[in-house]
Amino acid sequence: MNFELTREQKLTRQMIREFVNKEIKPLAAEIDKTEKFPLETIDKMRKSGIKGMSYPTEYGGSGSDYITYVLAVEEISKACASTACVYAVNTGLVASILLKFGTEQQKKKYVPELLNKGNKIGAFALTEPNAGSDASAQQTTAVDKGDYYLLNGTKTFITNAEYADTFIVMAMTDKSKGVKGISAFIVEKDMEGFEIGKIEEKCGVRASSTGELILSNVKVPKENLLGNLGEGFKIAMTGLDGGRISIAAQGLGLAEAALHEAIEYTKKRKQFGKPISMNQGIQWEIAECATKIEAARGLVYKAAWLKQEGFPFSKEAAMAKLYATELAMEVANKALQMHGGYGYIKEYPIERIFRDAKITSIYEGTSEIQKIVIARQILK
């Protein structure tokens, strides 16, 4: 067994790390405070090739492998979870679904623009007010009108909503068939009847846009059906399997960032005449967090490798997301506690990391849903 990254992966990670430290980290606190969507940063990521990690060059990608993409999510998350969130949905979820299930015409039209060849951003629209964890309870409908489908419904909690150009929207084409009656459609932001509703104010990842989509008699051309009729649920779940690796990598990065802040603070903070890092209780907490982070890294990288090599990875992706995202909150909580009262004020990064960490165990499948996925894979 070889746990070593390749030379190319290490070099690319170093390039990403330098980019993050120069272009992302200095802006993280400010865009969190102002809730400013990182459009300029995403464009710089495009120019540097990061926006197209893990995709073939013929579709606007950088030609790197999937593990390199996961390394990118991890590195970006250490500095700014909001930017990582935008990036993961656009590159790791939307572009991935389009490349896997799109026709050649669809892939050439949409994928390069979402990656290194354009400034467009993608969004994935599955969740509805009454269809959260129960994704099969879709109420949005798509009616066949001959030359087009007529879409009506409301989507909620959609990442990138306000700034996205290309949306993958799930809608019912035949309610009598249950999940097999759900289909997927490519919807463009300027289609008549499509509008952005309420933009949510969030506890964390505040610089990412999370909002409502309202579809009122939106005419979607027949050629914008993604995959076959009735394959929407399968497309969504396949996309989310990969998306869970992205969020696991985000959780890993946040946990690493929290531990880094704890180490830096405890080595500088003196109480009773010595740095608090000299206290055995602090040392034990740091040792435990560091050990668990290495365990999370193993789960995340293994899931990424399985996906990259074409092996089944649904269970491993769920395990990685469950463990890494729960760990992100655990380490952030412990790191904040080590800061004492200073950890609770915005002057210190741990306050933002703590707020950002919580969402990772909720979006793209809650921890409870991950447990269901894992158990069903084991018991089948």
Residues 222 and 158: their CA atoms lie apart, in Å, by 24
Contacts of 367-376 with C-beta under 8 Å, sequence gap 24+, read: 367/322, 367/325, 367/326, 368/133, 369/133, 370/244, 370/318, 370/319, 370/321, 370/322, 371/322, 373/314, 373/315, 373/318, 374/315, 374/318, 374/319, 374/322
Task: Say whether 364 is catalytic.
Answer: yes
Q: How far is CA 86 from CA 64, 114, 190, 250, 265, in A?
A: 20, 12, 20, 11, 29
Closest CA to 293 of 102, 91, 77, 137: 77
Residues 182 and 175: their CA atoms lie apart, in Å, by 8
The residue annotated as part of the active site, out of 40, 200, 364, 368, is 364
**Phi, psi dihedrals of residue 206, rounded to the nearest 5°:** -70, -20
Please say whether the beta carbons of 159 and 363 come within 8 A.
Answer: yes
Q: What value does the CA radius of gyration of the chain take, rounded to a whole number of Å?
A: 21
Residues 70 and 248: their CA atoms lie apart, in Å, by 9
Please say whether the beta carbons of 262 and 289 come within 8 A.
Answer: yes
**Active-site residue list:** 364
